[in-house]
Structure formats: C-alpha cells, structure tokens
Amino acid sequence: MLRLRPYKLSDYKYILNWINDEIVFAQWCANKFTYPLTKEQMTNYYHNCEKRDDAWMMTALNEDGVPIGHLLMRSANYENETIHLSFVIVDSSIRGQGYGKEMISLVIKYAFDILKVKKVTLGVFDNNPSAHACYKSVGFIDENYHLSAFFYKNQKWGVHDMAICK
C-alpha cells in the first residue's frame, strides 16, 4: 500500500539513486535537467516549484514510509479543471511490480477528489512502452501523437499526449 505526500527537500537522495542511465534520465526529464542529476538540481527544482501557484511536487511512500516514487503535478487550471503530470518516476529497483500504477492511481484520485479537476493529462515518449502501458492500465487514453517531438542525441522521439477524465 502506497501513500502520497508533498515532496520534501530530503527526498532528493532517493531520486538520485533511481536514475543510473542517461536514456532513462532523458525519458524522465526531457532534458530539463543535466545528467547526472545532482542535489543542487533537485533543490533548484524544488524552490522553483514552490514559487508557483499551479504546481506541486509529490512523493509516493511505501508501507514503511520510504520514498519509492516521485512526480510533479503542474499547470493546474481551475477554470478549465485540468492538471498535468510530469517527472514521473519509480525506484528503479522495484519497477514492473505495480508501484507506478498504484502511484498514478493515487494521484488521479487526489486530482479528482481533492483538487476537483475533471481532466488529468501527461506526455510519454514512444520509446517508453512500459510507462505508456502503465498509464493506459489506470485509464489514460491517447489523445494525440507527435512524431519526432523530442531530440535526444541523434534520435527523434515521439510523444503520446494522454488524458483521463472524471
């Protein structure tokens, strides 16, 4: 059973250990950070997020209270009743065991029941089929696909825009 809580500055040390591969890193942050991830980058990310009225960093905790997942809820638009998810990641040592699905389910519940939005959106790269399948498994649907939307080294990655509505 997972719990969801606001991100704490001390959570950075967990996230740093979850990303040991440059491609996984790029899939996670779309080059918004510099590889390898550092405490300083995470601290700046936190402080920049704290200045925004439309964004919240969240941490998923396992049954022992240990962080196992992270994401950013951003671009909250209460007029349109929408919010966007990004920077979604689960501890690399436990991926594929359903924790991502449970974390995203909790976030959807939080968005619908607490924030009272009616639509949650996210983007996922086409070279990340496990994440795409995870989002579909909790009810997200593909709304748009952008071929070659992101450039990573000599590669072009497509992006699936996904959404779930209440």
pLDDT of residue 47: 98
Q: Token pair for residue 150?
A: 């992101």
| Domain covering 3-165 in this structure, CATH number | 3.40.630.30
- Angle, CA of 125, 48 and 89, to the nearest 5°: 35
Q: Where are the domains of the chain?
A: 3-165
Q: Residue 42's Cα: distance from chain center in Å?
A: 14
Q: What is the pTM of this model?
A: 0.97
User: Is-contact 120 85, C-beta < 8 A?
Assistant: yes
Q: For the chain (length 166 residues), average pLDDT per consecutive 10?
A: 97 96 96 97 98 97 98 98 98 97 98 98 98 98 97 97 98
